[in-house]
Structure 1
């Protein structure tokens, strides 16, 4: 860990097997986590964050978070001292440029101590400039809505209707509509679409074909998938994957 009394940074590298779950924990230092391979899901700051290639997550010091690995994950983490000025105070997603990726890799490899001030300066600049719309869903406090969300991630193509979900979870239809809106800020339809796209991103970054992924996550046509993907991410599936691969150095 970096020296908490001065501007300092250190790096860390580990490889985790697919399905590895890291229980909720917190660090005394700020953390920027990134995967050079595989994808991660992080529960933190009241949200469920999806980290495919090309995305990193900024977690302020003392903020609790839990991680699950989708596929074998090559994690590269930077820890920044609380003494570092001007850093974000909330959990946020960061775009990983080729430069930021190389800084994270160099820090994780240990590098020369004399380079750390320069690497820290670049890191702070990239974090400040590289904010992104988050690939996240609010994490529901109601355990029944949380069960619904978990199922949408596990089986995104499940065609169960709102009425069927209400019966399964012990809600009336109207009560479930209200509970989903209060817990997530979305309608049931929006929640399913957003969840399907986030799962699709993970599979696309694994190298699966766009058309196959579209059907796998429950869309009736590739064009419907492309429209939903652009609605959620602002990009086409191929644009998103190309940018993620460029950031990962592939």
Structure 2
């Protein structure tokens, strides 16, 4: 289903009398949702293209083959980079009381992806005591054991810092200096750097580099060449960008994204 139908359907299935309600949807490139929250927890599995997710606590990027957990009541907004395909679960939190109370990005195992395929094909009122119920139980356990991936940036609570962060997110290639950003936040350089580190646990330059990495990952996931992405987000050369990417994510861009290519056959 498309984005408008998906939004209506998601609202209707929040109260289904089962631990899990599932759906699949397609979102054209640049589709941006409204800021919203759900009564149930939400698990999103990215099938194709890339989705970026913004919450009050930070921004995340979800590449193919990755899943994103959003606890109940967390306000979020999504944007699709490329023509995105996703599978979504809405999970009754009472069914998984040990699930985390904060957003969490994971790499999805082949088993998890196969189970998601099964669950999205089930009727909403599946038989909890038969095969469908056992598959749901296995899926919930598999989601809970997947390794977490750090593809996010925190958003400070201080409104002045948040204003600066929003401006950086809007233009990741900006050439503004640290002094310029401090002035944008209405603070001295010293106050800005001290407060930023206290609220985020990292320097502003490290945070900004992370933002650039996440945008690069989103754009690479749509098929853009490494060279054009590297130059557009402010790197002097593709090699400098690749070195940063490898340092942060442990692999070169093409190899990292090939790991999560949904067309790869697992034998």
The alpha-carbon deviation at position 2 of structure 1 amounts to 7.2
Assess if the C-alpha contact under 8 Å between 2:36 and 2:76 holds in 1: yes
- SS of match in other structure, 1:25: coil
Q: CA deviation at 1:32?
A: 0.6
Q: TM-score, normalised by structure 2?
A: 0.81
Equivalent position to 1:109, from 101, 113, 121: 121
> Where does residue 132 of structure 1 map in the other structure?
148
Match of 1:15 in 2: 26
Q: Distance in 2 between matches of 1:140 and 1:19?
A: 26
With 141-150 and 233-242 compared, the bigger mean Cα shift is at: 141-150
Partner Cα distance (2:64, 2:17) in 1: 33
Q: TM-score, normalised by structure 1?
A: 0.86
> Could you say which residue in structure 1 is the equivalent of 2:203?
187
Q: Is the 8 A contact 2:107 2:149 kept in 1?
A: no
Match of 1:37 among 48, 54, 79: 48
CA shift for structure 1 position 31: 1.6
Deviation at 1:77, TM superposition (A): 0.2
Deviations along 1:24-79, one digit per CA (max 9) or x if unpaired, are: 33333222112222322223362222212222111223333332333332221012
Are the equivalent residues in 1 in contact too, given 2:81–2:222 (CA < 8 A)?
Answer: no
Does structure 2 conserve the Cα–Cα contact (< 8 Å) formed by 1:42 and 1:66? yes
Q: CA deviation at 1:192?
A: 1.5
Residue in 1 aligned with 2:104? 92
The residue aligned with 1:249 is: 263
Question: Does the CA-based 8 Å contact 2:122-2:132 persist in structure 1?
Answer: no
- Offset at 1:94? 1.6
Question: Of 171, 179, 182, which residue of structure 2 is paired with 1:166?
Answer: 182
Q: Distance in 2 between matches of 1:149 and 1:116?
A: 45
Q: Which moved more, 1:187-196 or 1:45-54?
A: 45-54
SS at match of 1:116: helix
The size of the alignment, in residue pairs, is: 247
- Runs of 5+ consecutive residues of structure 1 not aligned to the other structure: none
Contact 2:14 2:39 survives alignment (8 Å) = no
The residue number in structure 2 matching 1:233 is 249
Residue-by-residue CA offset, 1:128-161 (whole Å, 9 max, x unaligned): 2212232111122233322332333332222221
Deviation at 1:20, TM superposition (A): 2.9
Alpha-carbon distance in 2 for matches of 1:43, 1:228: 23
